[in-house]
Amino acid sequence: MNWLKRLLGASKAPQKRNPIAIPADGMPKTAGKRARPPSRSRKLTPEEREQEIQRYIAERRQIDSDRWEFDAGRVKLAGVTHYRWQSAGDSDVCDVCRRHNGKRFSYDRAPSGGHPGDGHVCGNGEVCRCYAEPIIR
């Protein structure tokens, strides 16, 4: 094995780490998780159905909020300060998202209604499907 190290030049300078990389312990607890949608196979009373929907929205908001904080932290490390609001672009987009679509916002100051995808619930009761497109200069 020593001959292999000599051949490959074990004395090479160590590779630089990516300054934007975030260690695994910096990942949000909800990373890689998806909210469990309300059950469609079980017979639920209207009250149980409403509870399932509220549970789903709460889970989804938490996951989206964690994702927003993580993503915003990464782009800030890269020196990005602003983003462009991008909506899903379909007929289900709420008025707030439609108004913000395509506009430029700062990562440090949330617009009225919050950042896109940051657990924002649209006026139609759905969790926001919009996203922040980083503006790189």
Q: Half-sphere exposure (CA, 13 Å, Cβ side) for 109?
A: 5
8 Å CB contact between 103 and 130: no
Residue with token string 């994702």 = 67
> pLDDT category, 2, cuts 50, 70, 90?
low
Residue 97: name the closest of 105, 88, 108 by CA.
88
> Model confidence over 27-47: pLDDT tens digits?
666 666 777 777 777 788 889
8 Å CB contact between 114 and 73: no
Integer Cα distance of 119 and 68 in angstroms: 8
> Model confidence over 5-31: pLDDT tens digits?
554 554 444 444 444 445 455 666 666
CB atoms within 10 A of CB 111: 15
8 Å CB contact between 106 and 76: no
How high is the pLDDT of residue 9? 53
How high is the pLDDT of residue 49? 87
Integer Cα distance of 65 and 114 in angstroms: 10
How high is the pLDDT of residue 110? 86
> Model confidence over 83-96: pLDDT tens digits?
999 988 888 888 88
* pTM for the predicted model, two decimal places: 0.65
Q: What are phi and psi of 15, to 5 degrees?
A: -70, 145
